[in-house]
Chains A and B, each alone.
Chain A
Amino acid sequence: MSTVLRTESLTRVLPGDVPTTLVENIDLEIARGEFVAIMGPSGSGKSSLLYLLGLLDMPTAGQVWLDDTLTTGLSEDHLAHIRLERIGFVFQFHFLLEEFSALDNVMLPMRKLARLTEEEAHDKASELLHTFGLAEQMHKRPSQMSGGQRQRVAVARALANDPQLILADEPSGSLDTHASANVRDILHDLARNQNRAVVAVTHDPTFAQAADRRIFLVDGQLQPPERAAALFEVSVRH
């Protein structure tokens, strides 16, 4: 099992009059083909951790390795390039460009990376949208689609450059049970059948149940496995 992502005493403190610790001393290892769910109460630092894992935010202490590359301390442009090539993000609120069609949104990362011709990028984007059952919505703008459809477009966009790491922040947060299950199955399939690492923040125990591993955050701290299992039991019962 090869490690895709590894962190060592990852800490992020927001400076200010009263400095806020978002996450503290996180040691984490995520392997290829693994589907990991991050759980925890609201405000516990789940999103903050995800931004650090996705190289969108810089830690105040500790390190992040991606494929054995130490990313901490790299320039902003360098990090941007790593994100483009190797990381796919799905945000809690389907962040799509409003003026662009679903197809154009999915093509965006491919165009930026510019490894494929315009035609190849077009074919690949429409293929992705097909797999997610969005063939009909291809030329619609985000405002003309349902929440679930938009979230699937966001997933398709995250996959555009074939990243080995997919990070999702409550991808089913604003969806009904059916749409939520749909997105969950897609992520599950990516890990299981395409050998990618998937890390998803979720409040939904059913969603978390599908994951290979569940980790728990409380007040920015990672809970030990037995405590995490207990906490999960509690959340399932509710």
Chain B
Amino acid sequence: MKLAASIALSHLLSRRRQTLVSLAGIGLGVAFFLAVSALMRGSEQDFMHRLVDNSAHITVYDEFRQAKPQAAELAAAHGAVEIHGVKPETEVRGIRQYKQKLDFVSRLPGLRVAPVLLGQAIFTFAGKDLGAAINGIEPDLMKNVSTIDQYFVSGSLASLHSDPDGIIIGTGLADKFRAKLGDKISVTSPTGLVRVMKIVALFRTGTASYDDGQTFIILKRAQTLLGRPNVANRFILKLDDPARAPVVAGQIERALGYKTQSWQEASEDIMNLVKIRNIIMYSVVAATLIVAAFGIYNVISTVVLEKTRDIAILKSIGFHARDIRRIFLIEGALLGLVGSVLGTGLGLALMAGLARVEVKSPFITTQAFLPIYWGWDQMALAAAFAMGSALVAAYLPARKGGRVRPVDILRGAA
């Protein structure tokens, strides 16, 4: 092994320029692999964090997934009767007996829950009418399940306690009305009730549709305003471990019967996009490494070709075909190894450089940088891939070298 390694090394050192070029190929491949992967995975993590933080982990709706079975169907279970046009019923009255159900859910371990009554209303200020959603909430419960508290420009969820007729609106809506904190705004419900409410707090999340379209009032007020006393039509949940959301959602749905959606289910298309993005990234990056592997193949093929005389000498002395193969495989492995080390160094430098690039984020007002993933697993992956392709690239010429018959060379030379 040591002998094979020293011969391999002598070959690589005797072709210094080619060796350097192929090292550069592997090194750059590994470095780009790392930089791209760090950036993609960093942004994915960042994105997922935001997605998980800013959305409810689980939402319980006052809807059913399937239509209730019809009496005729129950009577003839095996298709003697077929009924068309059955639609799932929307529970107009909201979640029935929501207090007991809320109680049940809040007793499940590792989660927090808040009830919401969601409705629509027309808002009027200074002669201007705009529609928006009204969220009837219990501020003390809501602040446990929502990150909205982070986005207040003035006041907070708790400001609703100070004034029973208080309302919280987004800066988007406020700008459209040219309304300020403390202004009184009239709210008309679909049932025709009108109530004048005072703006007690303002939020700005950076998502226009949210800042323009969502308002918060006390649950009790919402119930009277919307004409649905003692009703809530949503439960919003946060879990200690967001990954468990699908399991917990299933558990709740089985117990309550209402459609219960985990954040994974709600953002399935986004998750699919992330998956596709990852596939594209890894294929592009793998391609750079494969190109680098061709460089290695090239070097080792040339060495085998140039060193057929040496191979003949070694074999005539008594080296086996596998000894010869080993020499060239070691050459490939050396190129792969040194290339990976150089590439990892360069890749880390690139990552450090990228991590200093500043970006403007609508969510964050403080300084923000490109999100970089620093995990060692991607370095291991890059190095393993580089080593693997180097060995594969070296294998073909190595096998050819092992097959050289010394007599053929000796006859040719004589």
Contacts and interface: CB of A to CB of B under 8 A. Distances in A.
Main DSSP-derived SS at the B contact region: helix
Contacts of A100: 10
B21 interface: no
A80 B320 contact: yes
Interface of A: 47, 51, 54, 56-57, 76-77, 80-85, 89, 91-93, 95-100, 108-109, 111-113, 157, 169
Contacts of A82: 318
A95 B407 CA distance: 13
Contact of A99 (B13, B316, B413): B13
Contact of A89 (B11, B316, B411): B316
A56 B407 contact: yes
Best-buried of A54, A80, A81, A112 by chain B (most CB within 10 Å): A80
B319 A80 contact: yes
Given A57-B407, A99-B13, A99-B14, A77 B310 contact: no
Contacts of B11: 99
A83 B317 contact: yes
A89 B317 contact: yes
A54 B312 CA distance: 14
B318 A81 contact: yes
What is the size category of the interface that chain B forms with chain A? 20 to 34
Contact of A77 (B321, B406, B407): B321
B312 A111 contact: no
A89 B316 CA distance: 8
Given A95-B309, A97-B313, A77 B414 contact: no
B317 A112 contact: yes
Best-buried of B14, B319, B413, B414 by chain A (most CB within 10 Å): B414
Pairs A-B, 3 closest by C-beta atoms: A84-B318, A99-B10, A83-B318
B319 A95 contact: no
Contacts of A76: 320-321
Contacts of A111: 2-3
Nearest to A97: B310
Contact of A112 (B319, B413, B414): B319
B330 to A, nearest CB: 15
12 contacts: A47-B410, A47-B414, A56-B407, A81-B318, A89-B316, A89-B317, A98-B310, A99-B13, A108-B317, A112-B319, A112-B323, A169-B414
Given A81-B318, A112-B319, 5 more contacts: A47-B414, A56-B406, A77-B322, A80-B320, A157-B317
Interface string B340-370: 0000000000000000000000000000000
B321 to A, nearest CB: 7
Nearest to B315: A80
Interface of B: 2-3, 7, 10-11, 13-14, 309-310, 312-323, 406-407, 410-411, 413-414
A111 B5 CA distance: 12
Contact of A95 (B7, B313, B318): B313
Given A77-B321, A80-B319, A96 B407 contact: no
A111 B3 CA distance: 7
Given A99-B13, A100-B10, A51 B318 contact: no
Contacts of A97: 7, 10, 310, 313-314
Nearest to B413: A93
Contacts of B320: 76-77, 80-81
A112 B318 contact: yes
B407 A51 contact: yes
Best-buried of B3, B14, B322 by chain A (most CB within 10 Å): B3
Nearest to A114: B3
Contacts of A89: 316-317
Contacts of B410: 47, 51, 56, 91
Contacts of B323: 112
A76 B411 CA distance: 19
B313 A109 contact: no
Contact of A83 (B316, B407, B411, B413): B316
A108 B319 CA distance: 10
Contacts of B310: 97-98
A95 B321 contact: no
A157 B318 CA distance: 12
A223 B299 CA distance: 50
A67 B253 CA distance: 87
Contact of A109 (B7, B318, B411): B318
A23 to B, nearest CB: 13
Contacts of A112: 3, 317-319, 323
Best-buried of A82, A91, A93 by chain B (most CB within 10 Å): A91
B312 to A, nearest CB: 7
B318 A92 contact: no
Nearest to A76: B321
B14 A109 contact: no
B145 to A, nearest CB: 72
A99 B407 CA distance: 22
A50 to B, nearest CB: 9
Nearest to A107: B3
A138 B318 CA distance: 23
B27 to A, nearest CB: 25
Nearest to A91: B410
A157 B320 CA distance: 18
A78 to B, nearest CB: 10
Nearest to A46: B414
Nearest to A85: B318
Contacts of B319: 80, 84, 112
A166 B319 CA distance: 18
Contacts of A56: 316, 406-407, 410
